[in-house]
Structure 1
């Protein structure tokens, strides 16, 4: 399975495969045609409450990760996660996000769940 995370503001690359936007809101200042987003499963994104909680002050990433994984266990999110996992079995999937630090964002949590990365 081939899943990677990139910032949506970076130019698309030929080897991105299917580009999946994993943010609830459309990235500011980015034209839809330039983003080349193939899928936008909003039900996979953190809830507004969780997103606000994580972005107010210094919240530990591991605690955010645990809370987000619980949200991803809901039936709607689990179905969407399975859909993206199916896409990844067919070829490269690039999760794109506007997060400034993708390595400590919800996109990385998703990538780990999708390709069973540990860490």
Structure 2
């Protein structure tokens, strides 16, 4: 069973992170490949630019965003291939750039994928 952790891109990588996956469509500002130490960039699973801009990281609209993002994921052909990748790694860390650690797309993605994996 895959364990999925979340970590801001601006927090130093740790060996306990396991397989590190950037889950943003855009590269985090000011970060180099060396500093980020990601193993995979899941651009295709990030929220669409339209949804990201419409939400604008407004915590009051997080519930609405979560529903719309889940709908996008339901239509996203990259999800099945990504689930296969996750199955190969017992510990995965989703790396994201958002400032809000309690309302962000990485949380929605984790819950969505764990439901798909049957966890």
Question: Normalised by the size of structure 1, how large is the TM-score?
Answer: 0.86
Confirm or deny: 8 A CA contact 1:23 1:97 kept in the other structure. yes
Pair 1:56–1:100, CA change in 2 (3 A): closer
- C-alpha distance in 2, partners of 1:65/1:84? 23
Runs of 4+ in 1 over 4 A off after TM superposition: 56-59
Instruction: Spell out the pairing of 1:35-54 with structure 2 (5 A cutoff).
Output: 35-54=36-55
1:91 alignment partner in structure 2: 90
Pair 1:105–1:98, CA change in 2 (3 A): same
RMSD across aligned positions (CA): 1.8
Instruction: Spell out the pairing of 1:5-16 with structure 2 (5 A cutoff).
Output: 5-16=6-17
Using the TM superposition, name which of 96-105 and 43-52 deviates more: 96-105
Uncovered stretches (5+) of structure 2, i.e. residues with no partner: none
Pair 1:92–1:57, CA change in 2 (3 A): closer
Confirm or deny: 8 A CA contact 1:20 1:40 kept in the other structure. yes
Pair 1:27–1:49, CA change in 2 (3 A): same
Is it true that 1:82 corresponds to 2:83 in the alignment?
yes
> Alpha-carbon deviation of 1:63?
0.6
1:70 alignment partner in structure 2: 71
Uncovered stretches (5+) of structure 1, i.e. residues with no partner: none
Pair 1:56–1:6, CA change in 2 (3 A): closer
Confirm or deny: 8 A CA contact 1:43 1:76 kept in the other structure. no
SS of residue in 2 equivalent to 1:4: strand
> Alpha-carbon deviation of 1:52?
0.2
